Amino acid sequence: YIVLRYVFGYLNRISICLQNILGIKRSYPYETLKKGAEWVSITNDLVEYLLSKKEEVLKNFKFISCPDEIYKQTLVWNSKFRSKVYAINDEYASCLRAIDWSRGTPYCWGQGGDKSDVSILRSSDAMFARKFSSENMWIVDEIRELYE
């Protein structure tokens, strides 16, 4: 698996270099491409809008790296829904999820029995948190007890 990942990564870099040398640049029918977290909370109206764009999404994002982190944000940014995005200038604050990238990819809350994680989550402005492990259910139970 690691060898294949390395080979495909190398081939991808070669492909990008060739595209740059030959002046090949993919064009998109959007004013701006945006990126952000794939963990989002959206309204039914936005779900319907995104579903109505299925063919467009498949056509424009099929061969792009990280399409799940780009297609929603790009469609929202280039639509009437842009004005409804919470914390539009901070992609991680806008998803309202406590995600710790500094200790993992992402870090699993409660890992190693770290009791300080409870206070970190409790003081967070986020409404949700990611990521929990079934091996550390103590933290989920402790947070649940705080709000019962």
Inform me whether the pLDDT recorded for 66 exceeds 90.
Answer: no
**Distance between CA atoms of residues 15 and 21, nearest Å:** 10
pLDDT, position 25: 80
pLDDT tens for each residue of 77-118: 999 999 999 888 887 788 899 999 899 989 999 998 989 999
pLDDT tens for each residue of 119-147: 999 999 999 999 999 999 999 999 999 88
Which of 28-37, 38-47, 138-147 is predicted with the least confidence, judged by mean pLDDT? 28-37
**Contacts by 128-132, CB closer than 8 A, 24 or more apart:** 128/39, 128/41, 128/96, 128/97, 128/98, 129/97, 129/98, 129/99, 130/39, 130/97, 130/98, 130/99, 130/106, 131/99, 131/104, 131/106, 131/107, 132/108
pLDDT, position 2: 83
**Distance between CA atoms of residues 84 and 3, nearest Å:** 44
